[in-house]
Chains A and B, each alone.
Chain A
Amino acid sequence: MSDALRPTGSSPTSETSSRAILAPGYSFTSVTDKIASIALSRRTPWQWFLGALTGFALTMVLLASLSYLFVKGVGIWGVNQPVGWGFAILNFVWWIGIGHAGTLISAILLLLRQPWRNSINRFAEAMTIFAVACAGIYPLIHVGRPWLAYWLIPYPNSMSVWPNFRSPLIWDVFAVSTYATVSLLFWYVGMIPDLATLRDRAKKLWAKMLYGMLAMGWRGSARHWARYEQASLLLAGLATPLVVSVHTVVSFDFAAGIVPGWHATIFPPYFVAGAIYAGFAMVLTLAIPLRKLYGLEDFITVRHLENMAKILLATGLIVGYGYLMEAFMAFYSGNVYERYAIANRMVGPYRTIYWSLIFCNIISPQILWFRKARRSVPILFVMAMIVNVGMWLERFVIVVVSLHRDFLPSSWGMYRPTAWDWSTFAGTIGLFLALMFLFIRLLPMISIFEMRQILPAAKAAEGE
């Protein structure tokens, strides 16, 4: 970091005010230049190349896996009877869950007037969009004939048929596509003023033109800002019920089926809490290396990490309640199949996965009760990784372990993912990483104008 970008009068890593959401000593100028320089002028760190290269290499693995899938069909996967929903649905749910934190941070925390969100909302929204993009691949490729995936969409056709609107699967098409579209709109609108900053700060002609076109001639007029703020609040108000609806609808895919272990009314809230849990774990997974790599500890402070750790703990407890109630209701129902489904999770052939899930999602996050753990960056990073894995295991338990033994013992079976299942999964992680690395290199990864709003000079002008 060049000296010009350091805040005056304090060392850049001073932790003097550990409750602060922004290190002291910053001005409109230094905040702007520090964030804009990441996209415009700073030398790209070698770790970026390493990460982006890994992402692109794995994206190639995804393309290869998909090509082979299109040639051979879904038989290359481990899906069978009775487990017709293997990795495709498991990973779809996992990715879409991760994609919940961004909109939650941008919308719900905006409505709740939590200014600490201002430094993490931008890349969390980007993460949301890329996670939803990865999620969106799975339903399309698991339909068997992916070239006909557009049949999911209601459109007038020569066959004179329409989708069945009483099916949760068509609800999912509406929920996920609306969520992807609205998240993209929200992300882009949030970026317009910052794109104007990049346009005005760029030195290279192509950068001026690119950012100039994307900024659409934004000039920071007070009249524009007034409408812009209205639009942001309205979008936040619209996105808040939307974000809750998405995982609710995803849970309907399961809960509306009569499979033991799926047919439960607790699914919607428990899925939504799980989605927020997984999403915040992924935000931490990304924020911790990013702040280190780009020296952003002044903007993404320990306070931010601690707040996210608290959300992680709270949603983790809700998820734990969900597991508990699922088990309790199965026994309380007196239904032999429901009871068996839960017992099968705990002591059946996939018991290792169930107990690993309990360890990852319920037991290990309890360490976050301790302030020391919440403020320790290494512990938080490990914790976030554990939750990422735990939420994946949860979806394995829900999708695979429920399906593999249903009502009739004669139709029981086992599911084992194949190498193609794993390569497709690794490939979507690669796509996610590649998009994320492109984003942090080319676009402002922290919202510059919202950082200006939390500066002391800005608060003084509002008479606060």
Chain B
Amino acid sequence: MKPVGLYGLMAEFENPGDLVAAARGARGAGYVKLDAYTPYPIEALTEALDIHDRKLPALVLGGGILGGLLGYALCYWTSVISYPLSIGGKPFHSAPAFIVPTFETTILVAAFAAVLGMLGLNGLPMPYHPVFNTPRFALASRDRFFLCIEARDPKFDREKTRAFLEGLRPSIVMDVEP
């Protein structure tokens, strides 16, 4: 039975190596709704938690293509259709000259896609999140490493999961209030 009024259980580790091992252990034990919180990105952890997400590169590619099309369209429409000006006998459609603004808008929109895409897919900004209720969680941005098994995990059981986490040799296991 899922306990009411609990977001999950959080185990704290002293060093990154223990956390990576614990994350592998938890995945191995069949837990799926879990997340780790660390003060810096750990590649081995991404593998251990089996995080595969290719949405962002696709978004950035889309942003770049859109930006390029918009940039070229702007140059073309203004210089050929809306306000054709003969300057130095150059053709209205001066493709080489249009490349520069097109290049810049490509980068601009792609960069916005990267930043807004990263924030959006991560669900940021998020002013409130249950993990912040955990005492000691402020150390996740300093020098401690946390593994949280969430209550919505099908295998989650308050007592058994706690016992499992304690078996991973953390320094402490804490309840996370929702």
Contact = CB atoms under 8 A, between A and B. Distances in A.
Interface of A: 27-29, 32-33, 154, 160-166, 168, 170-171, 174-175, 178, 181-182, 185-186, 188-189, 193, 196-197, 199-201, 216-231, 234-235, 238-239, 241-242, 245, 249, 252, 449-450, 452-453, 457-458, 460-463
A226 B51 contact: yes
Contacts of A166: 79, 87, 90, 94, 97
B36 A217 contact: no
Given A162-B82, A181-B111, A220 B37 contact: yes
A52 to B, nearest CB: 28
A127 to B, nearest CB: 20
B32 interface: no
B44 A165 contact: no
Given A166-B79, A225-B40, 4 more contacts: A32-B141, A222-B37, A231-B117, A461-B15
Contacts of A29: 142-143
Contact of B44 (A199, A219, A457, A462): A462
B57 A220 contact: no
Contacts of A229: 41, 43
A34 B89 CA distance: 63
Contacts of B165: none
A174 B35 contact: no
A189 B129 contact: no
A446 to B, nearest CB: 14
Main SS of the interface on chain A?
A: helix
Interface residues of B, number: 70
A165 B132 contact: no
B24 to A, nearest CB: 12
A249 B16 contact: no
A457 to B, nearest CB: 6
Given A162-B82, A231-B115, A450 B105 contact: no
7 contacts: A178-B104, A219-B37, A220-B140, A222-B37, A224-B122, A225-B40, A230-B57
Given A29-B142, A200-B142, A227-B118, A234 B40 contact: no
A274 B63 CA distance: 32
Nearest first, the 9 closest Cβ-Cβ pairs linking A and B are A461-B16, A216-B125, A28-B143, A231-B118, A162-B78, A200-B138, A217-B126, A225-B41, A174-B104
Contact of A174 (B105, B124, B139): B105
B3 interface: no
B99 to A, nearest CB: 9
Contacts of B124: 216-218, 224
Nearest to A195: B141
A164 B85 contact: yes
Contacts of B35: 221-223
A460 B17 contact: yes
A239 B60 CA distance: 13
A296 to B, nearest CB: 19
B68 to A, nearest CB: 12
Contacts of B40: 193, 225, 449-450, 452-453, 458
Contacts of A164: 79, 85, 87
B126 A235 contact: no
A440 to B, nearest CB: 21
Contacts of B36: 221-222
A365 to B, nearest CB: 32
B44 A463 contact: yes
Given A166-B94, A234-B114, A461 B44 contact: yes
B17 to A, nearest CB: 4
Nearest to A161: B83
A221 B83 contact: no
A452 B108 CA distance: 30
Contact of A457 (B15, B43, B78): B15
B153 to A, nearest CB: 15
Contacts of A238: 60, 64, 107, 110-111, 114
Contacts of A228: 41, 118, 122
A200 B141 contact: yes
B56 interface: yes
Contacts of A197: 39, 141-142
Contacts of A28: 39, 142-143
A239 B45 CA distance: 28
Interface string B95-125: 0011011011101101110110111011011
B118 A189 contact: yes
B127 interface: yes
Nearest to B132: A219
Contacts of B57: 230, 234
Contacts of A239: 107, 111
A227 B56 contact: yes
B126 A32 contact: no
B115 A189 contact: yes
A154 B110 CA distance: 20
Interface in B144-159: none
A314 B66 CA distance: 38
Given A171-B101, A216-B125, A222 B107 contact: no
Given A161-B83, A162-B79, A217-B128, A32 B114 contact: no
B74 to A, nearest CB: 6
